[in-house]
Amino acid sequence: MFMMLGLDDYAQVDDDISIHGVLTDYELMNMVSLDEDEEENEEEELPTPVILSEAKKCLTTLRFYALGTDTNDDFFGALTNIEKFLDNDRWKSLTQKNILSDFFSK
């Protein structure tokens, strides 16, 4: 049923298969122009703005990650500083809204 192959037969089993070919000038030019288009598209993509609630969720995710790994206190201190910054940013936005509403209400 099964045919035993020797090492030489095993090594030469794919010798008849074409693994390369000759590209035409047109195919080469297409490949280069497609690569340049992809690079231009990558440069044009701008990061989307992150809202405060998303930033807080990311901070929580980082805390859970840190609890599951061997991290030092400096990492948790950095997370606390980021949280203070986000909270301060939130309070500034609330204060600015109150000032604007006070200005327009008569």
Of 96, 100, 66, nearest to 80 by C-alpha is 66
What CA–CA distance (Å, rounded) separates 23 from 42? 27
pLDDT over 70 (residue 98): no
Please report the DSSP string for 94-105 in residue order.
HHHHHHHHHHH-
In the chain, domain spans? 52-104
pLDDT over 60 (residue 99): no
Structure confidence at residue 41 as a pLDDT band (50, 70, 90): low
Q: What is the pTM of this model?
A: 0.43
